[in-house]
Chain A
Amino acid sequence: MQTETVSLGIIINSLGHGADEAASVDSIIARAKAGDNRAFEALMIKYQRQVIGTSLRLLGNLEDARDAAQEVFLRLYKYLHTLDETRQIEPWLYRVTVNVCRDLGRKRAASIHVSLEAEISSGLSDRLSSTTDIEGDLALAQEQQIIREALETLSEKERSALVLRDLEGLPTEEVAKILGSSAVTVRSQISSARVKIKKYRDRILRRRQK
């Protein structure tokens, strides 16, 4: 067990920066393709935050986001041999994440979304114990709650486009490739989503002020 932990650590540490990082990822993918499960685990460690973060923003529910992330990595393992090592793996992961979240979202259309609030609250309580800015943290938590609810008012396509463009920071053209549509369509979806988020937020804030 100790030997395995050390080996994994070596693999993870080999993920350097810039060009070295790209070369490291390529070698890890190559080893994972050859059947090295430790290399595959290293891949998961590298991309797990991206996958679960995107899933959570798309689904709004941590439990669903966890299931989605597991499915994404299972698909990564299954289709690893089809991936081109010369291309970046991130766009493929985003595409699969969006598809998995879409399928999961449709299956669980009636899922309850209060668990995220509970997660934020539990996380908030940990932070409160270590910080003196209680009011700031509460305001942040409320704001994030509003944004999460506003995201739920969007259509599936609008939400996917907005999350990838504004929260993941991907360029419009790349978002279009991931979603399998045109840049014009993505711009239209993003524009509509931003206006809806803004109007929902304004409505809630006005209600709270009363």
Chain B
Amino acid sequence: MKCEQFERLIALEVEDDLPGNQKIKLTAHLAACGSCHRFAEELRDSQTALRRYSIDDFDEGLLAGIRQNVLSEINNGNIGHSYWDHVARWLGISDFRRFAWAMSGIAGVLALAAAFGIVVVIRSDKTIRVTAQVPKLEVPGSGPVSSSSGGGGVKKRIRQVSHKQSNATCKPSTFDEAVAVNRMGDVDSKTNAEGATSDLGNSVAEAPIIPQKDVTRIEMRTSNPNIRIILLVDKNEGKKPNAPPAAALFSSE
């Protein structure tokens, strides 16, 4: 530690303001350093001169003039309690300004928190994803239908049907037309083809033509946008115990 740094410690020590541990260090240095020892003596003289700088002897006229000026300001009503002073007093607060700043700060923090919460809610992903499991449909005469290769074959046929039907009607909407489509899917069916076909054949042969008004059309979309499932349910199905429900797989292409 250099002598210049010890000067600050000496300045505290002359008025007994130096903490204990630093006092020990300084005392050891002063014992060894003549320059700092002289500095300490000179600083004590300076402090003595400083303490003699006391101006307590004031003219009574000066003091009376100060009191008079203050009291005349008070009597003139220039120094009064503002509205906020009364509010502060009513609230039991000593400093209304500080209270107002504190309340403003709290209000600001709450406003920021509310804004942040609103932003979080708005930006949250509200998309609801629903995954529908498409059951495998067993179309009479064509075996289980899925969206794989079998479906592709069906699609082609459906396209043909659609093309054929486009001249006549928009979509197959009767039970009869749906059965006609199913019949065309016989070639690609792998499983239970014969049985299904025979069933279909039997069912087709025996199935009567049902008027449109008696058919309930249920259209279901699948995860594949190109595949829709349309169920045509005979409203009179319950009345005919052996009538099989018919289902058709239609492509939107």
Which residues of chain A have a CB within 8 Å of any CB of chain B?
37, 40-41, 44-45, 48-49, 52-53, 56-57, 62, 66, 69-70, 73-74, 77-79, 81-82, 123, 140, 143-144, 146-148, 162, 165-167, 172, 187-188, 190-192, 194-195, 197-198, 201-202
Which of B52, B56, B85 contacts A143 (CB under 8 A)? B52
Please name 16 pairs of A and B residues whose Cβ atoms are closer than 8 Å in the assembled complex, sorted by A.
Answer: A45-B63, A48-B67, A49-B63, A52-B58, A52-B63, A66-B65, A66-B66, A69-B66, A74-B70, A82-B94, A144-B52, A148-B53, A162-B50, A194-B47, A195-B11, A198-B11
B206 at the A interface (CB under 8 A)? no
CB distance from A54 to the nearest CB of B (A): 10
4 closest A-B pairs (Cβ-Cβ)? A82-B94, A198-B46, A194-B11, A191-B11
Q: Which residues of the partner chain A approach B125 to less than 8 Å between Cβ atoms?
A: none
Q: Which residues of the partner chain A approach B89 to less than 8 Å between Cβ atoms?
A: 81
Name the interface size band of chain B.
35 or more
Q: If the complex has contacts A49-B63, A78-B79, A195-B8, are A140 and B52 also in contact, measured as CB distance less than 8 A?
A: yes
Question: Is the beta-carbon distance between A187 and B12 smaller than 8 angstroms?
Answer: yes
B15 at the A interface (CB under 8 A)? yes
> Number of residue pairs across A and B with beta carbons under 8 Å?
118
Which residues of chain B have a CB within 8 Å of any CB of chain A?
7-9, 11-12, 14-15, 17, 42-43, 46-47, 49-58, 62-63, 65-67, 69-71, 73-75, 79-81, 85, 88-89, 94-95
CA distance A167 to B15 in the complex (A): 12
Question: Is the beta-carbon distance between B81 and A197 smaller than 8 angstroms?
Answer: no
CA distance A52 to B67 in the complex (A): 12
The closest CB in chain A to the CB of B65 belongs to: A66
CA distance A208 to B37 in the complex (A): 25
CA distance A133 to B28 in the complex (A): 43
CB distance from A56 to the nearest CB of B (A): 5
Excluding A45-B63, A57-B55, A165-B17, 9 further A-B contacts by CB distance (< 8 Å) are A44-B70, A45-B67, A48-B66, A73-B66, A77-B70, A147-B50, A166-B51, A194-B11, A195-B43
CB distance from A176 to the nearest CB of B (A): 12
The closest CB in chain B to the CB of A116 belongs to: B55
CA distance A162 to B49 in the complex (A): 14
Question: Is the beta-carbon distance between A194 and B43 smaller than 8 angstroms?
Answer: yes
